[in-house]
Amino acid sequence: MNLAALQRHLFRPVDASSLAVFRIAFGGLMLFEAVNYGVFLCLDCFYRQTDLLFKYRHFEWAELLPGRGLELVFVIMALSATGVMLGLFYRLSAVLLVLTFGYLFLLDEALYLNHFYLALLFATILVFVPAHRAWSLDARRRPAFASDTVPNWGRFWLGAQLEIVLVLAGLVKLNADWLNLEPMRMWMTAASADEAAIFRWLTQDWGIALASYGAIALHLVGAPLLLWRRTRLAVFCIYAVFHVINTFVFNIGIFPWMTLAATLVLFDPDWPRQVLRWLQARGRAVRFAALAQPAGDGMGRFALSRTARVGITAFIVLWLAAQVLVPFRHHLAPGNVAWNEDGHRFSWRMKLRSKRAVARFVVLTDDGGRIVVDPRDHLTAKQTRKMSCIPDMILQFAHFLASEHGDDGTRKVAVHADVRCSLNAREPQPLVDRLVDLSGVHRDDPVTSWVTPLSTPLRNPIF
């Protein structure tokens, strides 16, 4: 597809109802997250009952707000999610949702989840996408602004982002451990009888193999078939079953519902009106009759200059190119990415590895002192569990200990880590070179200089 054809595809007018449905669903899910975390979960347990919040590289500036500032952030997030859902002061609401959720995302690296990252990407895209021109309070407040059609680039952007996630989620499973049924076998056989009662077949090797290889096929074959009208509905139904099973087997929050809502964007742009007309024909949607019929093409009021069209096209292409390239950055670094974590995040490596570790730190002072540190004395239980398996967080904790025991640089200290880690049911082996003083290692230094290579073989491999 050449540039002219791409621009024709991106800027052709399409029905706005599918974008409106995604906006409503996504806003509702983010409102649920804001209420769930801000009201029903213990924020002190997550953020305040710890001596250290782990930071993403280059985002060390994201600090915890004083007083009840964190609660205020969740309130603003809930209000902004409501605004996105209702299409009320939509642009402002979308920007505030990105800022508040982005701040919470950056607060602690230990709380990283792939679906948080995907939600942040979708929220950012919605800042630009005109998803409030139909079925919104903004459209009702400003009839001159309302339109039943929008340029196709909004749907294309969201749909392409989803396809990248789905395809990459399948590609990353083409690794030796997953093909040898780990960690799926470990998770399923470790489940109790009660937890696995509905899906008892998943505890058998044949069922585990079906689930493992089926996930690969679903992503690598099913995701492209979502782009073909004849197979789209059938594949969507299979994905729905897949996500429901995942909801029962794994604790993955809003991810299944958010993914299904985004998948609906790949259907015909007017699919919501088709559904409403179908219901209306059966006498079940009388009050929605006006929504079922588009009011007309309002695209003329939103004509864009050639420069604006080129700018939008270039921005979307660059965004999608980055989304394709970033997940492959681990190939630039030596070693097993599941072991050293160098490039693991932001790469859709979902449910690919299970790591268990025991970590102990030793601080040596220049006056001959030796202090043994248990991470649990400084971190929450979740932070301790995550940190013990992830080299970058081990290094951050070592720097924290060097600062704590170095008396603001007036005393020279060395920090060593004794970490034994098990990857995907392997026998535990040292993760970090115990002889390396981690206080002198920079976060930009290659992990190969202080992380030991994975040498322990997988238990009971198939091949």
CB 334 within 8 A of CB 448: yes
Give the position of tokens 């880690």: 421
Longest Cα pair distance anywhere in the chain, in angstroms? 85
Nearest to 373 by CA among 356, 388, 386, 352: 388
Across residues 296-316, what is the average pLDDT? 77
Cα 236 to Cα 216, 248, 456, distances in angstroms: 16, 19, 40
Query: What are the percentages of helix, strand and coil residues in the chain, rounded to 5?
Result: 60, 10, 35
Do the Cβ atoms of 185 and 208 come closer than 8 Å? Answer: yes
H helix or E strand, kind and range, residue 196: none
Centroid of chain to Cα 74: 19
Q: How confident is the model at residue 144 (pLDDT cuts 50, 70, 90)?
A: confident
**Average pLDDT for the chain:** 91
Which among 127, 75, 152 is positioned nearest to 309, based on CA atoms?
Answer: 152
Residue 344 pLDDT > 80: yes
pLDDT at 302: 58
Residue 5: how many other CB atoms lie within 10 Å: 9
Note the pLDDT of residue 300: 46
pLDDT band at residue 296, thresholds of 50, 70 and 90? low
pLDDT of residue 286: 60
The single-letter code of the amino acid at 133 is R
- Over 70: is that where the pLDDT of 214 sits? yes
pLDDT band at 462 (very low <50, low <70, confident <90, very high): confident
Per-residue pLDDT at 270 exceeds 80: yes
Query: Which residue type occupies 379?
Result: L
Q: What is the pTM of this model?
A: 0.93
Higher pLDDT, 125 or 294: 125
How would DSSP label each residue in 237-261?
A: HHHHHHHHHHHHHS--TTHHHHHHH
* Whole-angstrom distance, CA of residue 104 vs CA of residue 108: 8
Sorted by sequence, the CB contacts under 8 Å of residue 252 that are 6+ apart come out as 115, 246
| Mean pLDDT, range 435-441, rounded to an integer | 96
pLDDT given for residue 193 in this prediction: 47
Question: Is it the case that residue 293 has pLDDT exceeding 80?
Answer: no
